[in-house]
Amino acid sequence: MLSSRAPAARAADAPGGLGATDGGAVAEWRPNDIVVAEAAPGAAPASILPAQWFDGLLAAVPPLAPPAADALDAFRAAGAAEVRALVDAGGLPVSKSEAWRHVGVRELYARTFALVDGAAPVPLPAVLPDAYVADGAGAVAVFVDGAFCAALSRVSGLPGGVYVGGLADLDAPRREQLLAKLAVRIEGANANTLGVSDASVAGGLGGAPFCALNAAAAVDVAAMVIPAGVALADTEPIHLVFVSSASAPVSHPRYLLDGGAGSAITLVTSHVDACELAGAAEGAEGTGAAGASRALTNAVGQLLLSDGALVRHTLVAERGPLSSHVENVEVTCAAGARYELTTLQGPAFLCRINVGATLAGEGAQAHARGLMLTGGESSSALDLHTAIRHLTAGCESSQLQKNLLAQKGRAVFRGLIRANGLAKQTVAHQLCRSMLLSDGAKLDVAPCLEIIADDVECTHGATVAELDEEKVFYFRARGISAEAARYALVKGFALEVIDKVPYSGTKRRMAALALRLIPRKRREAIDTSNWSSI
């Protein structure tokens, strides 16, 4: 279980303020353009009140210029109204909220984000490095601080009727159709508690304030339109790359997929820091984390699957150990639709992902796999909350979550599968497996199964283990070093999730990270290049 934390100091006088704060906190100048109010050594975190924190971020939202303003002004206004309504109603996440009690929301509130006057932003490369592009990508759409960047994107040559790009660039009729489908409060993130009724379960992931803030601050939407009957090759994924630059300490990317009946798409969504791209462009992939920004990414995804549609979705969050990342994803599956999700989360100051999937039509399916990989001398918190809701008969779902923690890494997994009274002949299986590589790692898991219907086939469970030294001995008896043996065991543990991900770059970075997490008595060269086999 996660340990209790010291009480927060009294709130700062103003949201986002600079200079000294109560409780011994100091607003420190950072080289990456961001000011972070953090506690001095020995002092408690100097959290501001949640309402102040959200009000400060809302006040910092810049106005939009045409054509984005014409498309999004009304949506932004609705989002701002929703934020204020949640503030007035006390509906913001706090450490006692059921959906947030295991993760450091107080520490997040202790961070304020502001630009440092005169600081030079990290330059973006002229071409997106191959290491950050999915294998064989059929289209790559890059969004910098939430806005579409045509110079780094490659979205031409798609089949007729298929659109991938910014919402503002879409033709007027289809733009209006998508605007009508944008939701300020996505169905899977409406509340701060995990309830038991259909309505509250649909909103039990605790992301409503962040979804509303995302809407209020939207500068663009990554729009994907796949017409009915169009099946894109699974070997040519559509890749959305969301880049956070030091020019904007808080970004609010949003993506919307409208999948027509019988359509098929392989989708990769990834979040990366500009420092990482700059390092990769100079031939130093994966070295940018030390200089990565302490910015906040607040992302929202909506995926709408019509009858018989298929979406294979890989979600990658590898912003770096200093970043904060909150993402809410909601999926709706009509009859016969199938959604396959793989989530990969690397070290972050805080990385919270909420995924809600609604199986609304008969025979719909949702299958999820996930890997959280974290550790380090400084605390790193990864969090995944999921809710898969069976609303009608004959639906199937499965979930396999794996967590690998070392040193001071923290991880939270809370997964819910619910079959309501009409969801007869439901098939649902859920399993969470975790491996702890050190005594300092902290883990909280809560697989949850709620069955209202009869005539169902459902299982769930969780396991926690350490590295098996008997298996290490087996390797050593065959001439393999202890370090190589431990790496092979860790690699095998993660392989079930990561093996089929169409993204060699992140596989390589995850492999290197796994090697760094393994306890090592001596430095030995170990080949991490081939992550796809033992």
User: Stretch 440-451: mean pLDDT, rounded?
Assistant: 92
* pLDDT at residue 36 tops 70: no
**457 located within any domain:** yes
pLDDT digits (tens, 9 = 90+) for 306-316: 999 999 999 99
In the predicted structure, residue 524 carries a pLDDT above the cut 90: no
Q: What share of the chain is helix, strand, coil (3-state, %, to 5)?
A: 25, 30, 45
Q: Which residue has the higher pLDDT, 518 or 354?
A: 354
Interval 4-20 mean pLDDT: 30
| Residue 343: per-residue pLDDT | 97
The residues near 122 (Cβ < 8 Å, ≥ 6 apart) are 32, 245, 246, 274, 275, 278, 293
- Look at residue 521 and tell me whether its pLDDT is greater than 80: no
User: Rounded distance, CA 57 to CA 16, Å?
Assistant: 8
pLDDT for 426 beyond 70 = yes
How many domains, the chain?
2
How confident is the model at residue 181, as a pLDDT? 93
Regarding whether 389 and 338 lie in a shared domain, the answer is yes
| Residues 189 and 266 placed together within one structural domain of the fold | yes
**Which of 428, 447, 465 is a domain's end point?**
465
pLDDT at 290: 42
Residue type, 201: V
**Are 444 and 473 members of one domain?**
no
Instruction: Establish if 110 belongs to a structural domain.
Output: no
Q: Are residues 439 and 458 in the same domain?
A: yes
Q: Does residue 86 form part of some domain?
A: no
Confidence of residue 330 (pLDDT cuts 50, 70, 90): very high
Q: Say whether 309 sits in a helix, a strand or coil.
A: coil
32 against 110, higher pLDDT: 110
Last residue of a domain, one of 423, 444, 465: 465
Mean pLDDT of the chain: 82
Beta strand residue intervals within 360-506, DSSP E: 365-374, 380-390, 396-405, 409-419, 427-436, 442-451, 457-465
473 and 414 in a common domain: no
- For residues 314 and 439, membership in a common domain is answered with yes
**Domain span at residue 179?**
139-465
Question: Nearest Cα to 251, choosing from 77, 76, 57?
Answer: 57
Question: What percentage of residues in the chain have a pLDDT greater than 90?
Answer: 51
Region 257-280 average pLDDT = 91
Looking at 449, 465, 481, the residue that finishes a domain is 465
- More confident call, 461 vs 66: 461
Give the pLDDT score at 333: 97
**The token pair that represents 161 in the structure block:** 């009727």
Reduced to 3 states (helix: H, G, I; strand: E, B; else coil), residue 1 is coil
Say if 61 falls within a structural domain. no
C-alpha dist (Å) from residue 375 to 91, 378, 383, 517 = 32, 8, 14, 6
Please state the pTM of the whole predicted model: 0.86
Higher pLDDT, 55 or 42: 55
- Name the H helices within 26-126: 50-59, 68-89, 105-109
In this structure, the answer to whether residues 409 and 489 fall within a common structural domain is no
* Domain match, 460 and 477 both: no
